[in-house]
Amino acid sequence: MSTNDCIRWLWRVSGGYRLPVMARSLTGIAHAGVSLFSVWVSKCLIDAATGRGGGDMDLLVALLVACLAVRPLLSAAGTRLGSRTEIRFRNGLNSALFERQMESRLTGREALHTGDILNRMVEDTASVTDTLCRGIPAVTVLSVQLAGALWLLASMSVGLACTVVFIMPAALLLSKAYMRRMRAFSGRIRTAEGRIQSHMQEYLQHRILVRTLEFTPRAVGRLLLLQSGLREEVMRRADYSAFSRAVVLAGFAAGYATAFLWGVYGLRDGTVTFGVMTAFLQLVSQIQGPMVDLSRQIPAFIRTVTSAERLAELAAVPVEQRGAPVRLDGVPGVRMTHLSFAYPGGNRKVLDDFSHDFAPGSLTAVVGETGAGKSTLIRLVLALLSPDAGQVTLYDKERDTAVSPLTRCNLSLCAPGQHACQRQHTRQPPDG
């Protein structure tokens, strides 16, 4: 699945949550605007206090206090809106994927272990919703804040603004090779996590049998081996990310030193006021901060693309036929005609040209050794599996119909020792 396909899938599943995400972005942009305005107010206030600039100090103090009061309110509002949108989105996506898996059509040999499915629905869903509900607004806000800080810095010193920008090697984290390699790391880590969860789920489910057969050391050893593989992949990604981040942080340190020394020499020569010096240092922080945070969003975006690809697989599984239940009158019969079936990857047919008529009201015992096809026969009658050849039909006195998910309402399941059967379908069963 290409990156563009993943982005299109993310766009589709976020359909009902785009307005809240936009509102979260606008709240963050307002917060960034107030922060930049407070830098300008601080500069004017210091210059007015040192006699290097004009302006009403009382008004400037009032504006600074207002900025300091509004910023926490905007931050709290944005956090609450982001949390509310994220949990709604995560619950909605989880519900849709859960329903899809519950209604998926069986193939006989399922491609994904239930542990892997659960890992995707928990870990990958969290990654996707976090990026869409928090990451995208954060990138939008940081971009606006970065552009605003650069504009304000350039209005004071074009040369310093250009120097601060070009001395920071942010292009390193934006390179195509970096993104491709980080995506490969994320994919392998997600796969390793899925294997660990599948292993633990399978052995915990059968822990009594495993303990009885004295396979516990083997199960623990296998888990340790899987965890070792995960640890190696995580450390490879961490080492690669740490190196890239160290290079960028070195550039940030050089940028801050440049701004600081620029201001120091300006103060000595009288070309820079104390207010401008303070603004320089604040603006460099407001440029470096967004660039650091933007660099952090790149690995998160890469993990999200990987997660979206894994979730799209779950969303694309074929589902059973839907529609109104097909009810027959009375107790139906089951007719099997030249039925053949083999599981994918199997070396033999479980059923081979099998025919039988289970007449209405008759009692039939299906017996045989393990693997003879008893469970397969029931699954074919329930339309959980489709035969490779032949047909299974339900019939009454007036008609017959091929089995499908819509005919299950005519079938009953009895537990051993029960004197009565309960219909699978929740509606009132027909008489008979």
Q: Is residue 320 part of a domain?
A: no
Residue 351's CATH number:
3.40.50.300
Contact 404, 395 (CB under 8 A): no
- In order of 159, 260, 276, 282, 326, the CA distances from 155 in angstroms are 10, 17, 11, 14, 75
pLDDT of residue 164: 65
**223 or 208: which leads in pLDDT:** 223
Which residues partner with 395 through β-bridges? 333, 400
Q: Is residue 323 part of a domain?
A: no
Residue 70's CATH number:
1.20.1560.10
CA distance 135 to 147: 18
pLDDT of residue 65: 92
* Overall residue count recorded for the chain in this entry: 432
Q: Looking at the structure, do residues 60 and 151 belong to the same domain, yes or no? A: yes
pLDDT of residue 23: 92
**188 or 256: which leads in pLDDT:** 188
Mean pLDDT score of the chain: 79
Tokens, residue 301: 């975006």
pLDDT of residue 107: 64
Indicate the burial class of 376 (C-beta count within 10 angstroms; 0-12, 13-18, 19 or more). Answer: buried
Q: Looking at the structure, do residues 195 and 280 belong to the same domain, yes or no? A: yes
368: helix, strand or coil: coil
Residue 418 has pLDDT above 60, yes or no: no
pLDDT of residue 108: 57
Q: What is the pLDDT of residues 271-313, one digit of tens each?
A: 777 787 788 777 777 776 777 677 677 777 878 888 888 888 8
Residue 424 has pLDDT above 80, yes or no: no
Q: What residues make up the domain containing 175?
A: 3-315
Indicate the burial class of 96 (C-beta count within 10 angstroms; 0-12, 13-18, 19 or more). Answer: middle
Q: Looking at the structure, do residues 245 and 111 belong to the same domain, yes or no? A: yes
Q: Is residue 328 part of a domain?
A: no
Contact 319, 354 (CB under 8 A): no
Q: What is the DSSP code (8-state) at residue 124?
A: I
Question: What is the three-state SS of 58-73?
Answer: HHHHHHHHHHHHHHHH
- Lowest mean pLDDT segment, chosen from 167-176, 203-212, 254-263: 167-176
Q: What is the pTM of this model?
A: 0.64
User: What does the pLDDT average to over 102-109?
Assistant: 69
